[in-house]
Structure 1
Amino acid sequence: MKLAKTYAFIKKDLSEIEDALEKTVYADQPVLHEASIQLLKAGGKRLRPVFVVLASKFGEYNLNHIKNVASSLELIHMASLVHDDVIDDSNMRRGKPTVKANWDNQVAMLTGDYIFAKALQQFTDIDKPRAHQILAKTMMELTVGEIEQIKDKYNLQQDLRTYLRRIKRKTALLISSSCQLGAIVANTDDHTEKALFRYGYYMGMSYQIIDDILDFTASEKELGKPAGSDLIQGNITLPVLYALENNYIKKDLEKAFENRQEVNPERMRPIIEQIAKSDAISQARTVSDLYLRKAYDSLELLPANQAKDALAKIANYIGNRKL
């Protein structure tokens, strides 16, 4: 089943949110407008708006309010991707040229800043101070996660706790905040809000771990970038941490990372293939499955409705996805 079919009943609402996104990123400055529209049209699953909408279905559903929250969170995600591409020197994302590739680093960074600002502007219509506090904290944690990732590049001495804390900040909190803010804007009770927050957090952790696995197991065509790109860029993900328990792989990586400024992608290819065939993949998937189980457990605390069914199906899709 395709992911979109799991929440087909909110298709019309998501279409309105997509229209709102396009209006929001409009800029009078031509380069800024073109770069923003390119980013918007680059695709993506729009998972954060989906989580906002579905979470709101447990309370007082008002699309006009929900639309602002959903578009703000997607804009924050989009802006972080632009900045990521500059930091990682990535020219391709989802098989298409990045903003930095079509222009340069300066335009990319300023485009990201502009989209962040637009996200905040869009959120000003939400008359709930706690929602603003949650959004601000999420953005701060996202930035800390980016800094931590830069700091730990090519560091083979990091541990599981460091990795989990980093993906919590970089990925899971934005998804959990999407669920929580959807609940808050719909005036759900505290019990429901907390259950949705936990679901989003556990889903976010599982989602990122699966992403890190796919970086080794999916093809270049499926990924839209070379397999093992994260490792080539020095990012130590969960499969790599487990693979480092193999002394042969560890020694090969230490040699490949001796000169961080000149990591050779061709030299890295055999190492990437070794990791893809190793037990590290199944070990990482086991951790993802543990988070997924906790996400399902969180759903058990919610009342039965169509949104709950959709959230369960999304969890099943993400836990088993091949791309």
Structure 2
Amino acid sequence: MCWIIHKSRLLYPTLHSCCCKTIHSDAKLKDPFTLAQKDLTSLYDDIKKELFVSKEELKSLNRAGAIAMISEMIHTASLVHDDVIDGSDKRRGKRTINEVWGERKAILAGDFILSAASMALARIGNNTVVKVLSQVIEDLVRGEFMQLGSKENENERFKHYLEKTFKKTASLIANSCKAVSILVNSDPEVHEIAYQYGKNVGIAFQLVDDVLDFTSGASQLGKPTAADLKLGLATGPVLFACQQFPELHAMIMRRFSSNGDVDRAWQYVLQSDGVQQTNYLAQRYGQEAIRQISMLRPSPERDALIRLTEMVLTRDK
């Protein structure tokens, strides 16, 4: 995503945003992965060099490329730490680092990746970008703390859930998009468009992920189904299901810890419209992401970001 935003240059906001109907009637949109393939193929090698080659030997990346690398390193470190916190032994069908090496080494591995990302961030030499991407790390930690708690009031609970979703998932995307836009454009309005696009597509992504926990099999997800319930987490489908099955409130407050809670909550969600409501909410965030990015002048890169949003909304794993 950082690469595509960099290539678009984000130079000319249009005077009006295109409506979603017009967007979908355009010619076939460019596949975002095809558009960024050349740059993305080197990203993994760049990360390996950042981790294992002395700083004196590192070739300097262009600054947008460095942001893509830093963002992925922060993301990877957060996943390593998440798996330790959750006690997960699988991620996307593969054994987790803590399963292979143990918790202590996994924690240190995540710390090491994060420290290397911080060093790379300092080398960019733009204080505003450093501040923007540093916010991601703070949000990740705050989001993890928020996940440990819950709210008794139903309205506060949903607000808590969406704020946690932003901090744990969408902040990384939003601030990475904003950081790239700062490097290639001096217009604060464009920076805000990039941020809002990333924020909305990030929240949509997580909402879809929360739906898939109830609708996809373990083989598709690469992790056990009902994983969030087993961790004591009440996601969108559960919170919506509360409106039809008030019995869920007590289960949420005790984090599904009593015998039979997970199975009963699972059944309540499937009997309710919780999945459909969460899907609808994801669509709303996705359409807002499209509306935001459509404020920019038409280009293959802008259209690729629209296509990327559509892929987020229709994914099944």
Quick one: distance in 1 between partners of 2:30 and 2:225?
26
Alignment of 1:13 with 2:39, yes or no, is: yes
- The within-5 A match list for 1:209-288 is 209-247=207-245, 250=248, 253=251, 257=255, 260=257, 268-269=262-263, 271-288=265-282
Q: Which residue of 2 aligns with 1:86?
A: 84
Deviation at 1:6, TM superposition (A): 2.9
Deviation at 1:316, TM superposition (A): 0.8
SS in structure 2 at match of 1:301:
coil
Q: Which residue of 2 aligns with 1:298?
A: 292
Paired residues, number: 283
- The within-5 A match list for 1:1-323 is 5-26=31-52, 64-152=62-150, 159-247=157-245, 250=248, 253=251, 257=255, 260=257, 268-269=262-263, 271-323=265-317
Q: TM-score, normalised by structure 1?
A: 0.80
SS in structure 1 at match of 2:34:
helix
- Asked if structure 2 preserves the Cα contact closer than 8 Å seen for 1:249 and 1:274, the reply is no
Amino acid at match of 1:120: S
Amino acid at match of 2:41: S
Quick one: distance in 2 between partners of 1:169 and 1:75?
17
Higher relative contact order (CA 8 A, sep 6+): 2
Quick one: distance in 1 between partners of 2:248 and 2:171?
31
Deviation at 1:288, TM superposition (A): 1.0
Moved more, 135-144 or 243-252: 243-252
- Asked if structure 1 preserves the Cα contact closer than 8 Å seen for 2:30 and 2:304, the reply is no
Q: Which residue of 1 aligns with 2:25?
A: none
Amino acid at match of 1:172: A
- Asked if structure 2 preserves the Cα contact closer than 8 Å seen for 1:95 and 1:225, the reply is yes
SS in structure 2 at match of 1:302:
coil
Give unmatched runs, 5+ long, in structure 1. Answer: 29-61
Amino acid at match of 1:169: K
Deviation at 1:249, TM superposition (A): 5.2
Alpha carbons of structure 1 residues 12 and 279: separation in structure 2 relative to 1, 3 Å: same
Q: Which residue of 1 aligns with 2:13?
A: none
Quick one: distance in 1 between partners of 2:183 and 2:69?
13
- Same amino acid, percent of matched pairs: 31
Quick one: distance in 2 between partners of 1:254 and 1:179?
35
Following superposition, which runs of at least 4 residues in structure 1 exceed 4 angstroms of deviation? 155-158, 254-258
Quick one: distance in 2 between partners of 1:194 and 1:253?
39
Alpha carbons of structure 1 residues 285 and 111: separation in structure 2 relative to 1, 3 Å: same
Quick one: distance in 1 between partners of 2:287 and 2:31?
22
Q: TM-score, normalised by structure 2?
A: 0.82
Taking only aligned residues, the RMSD between alpha carbons, in angstroms, comes to 2.6
Show CA shifts across 1:69-95 (max 9, x none): 111110001111111111111111101
Quick one: distance in 2 between partners of 1:180 and 1:113?
25
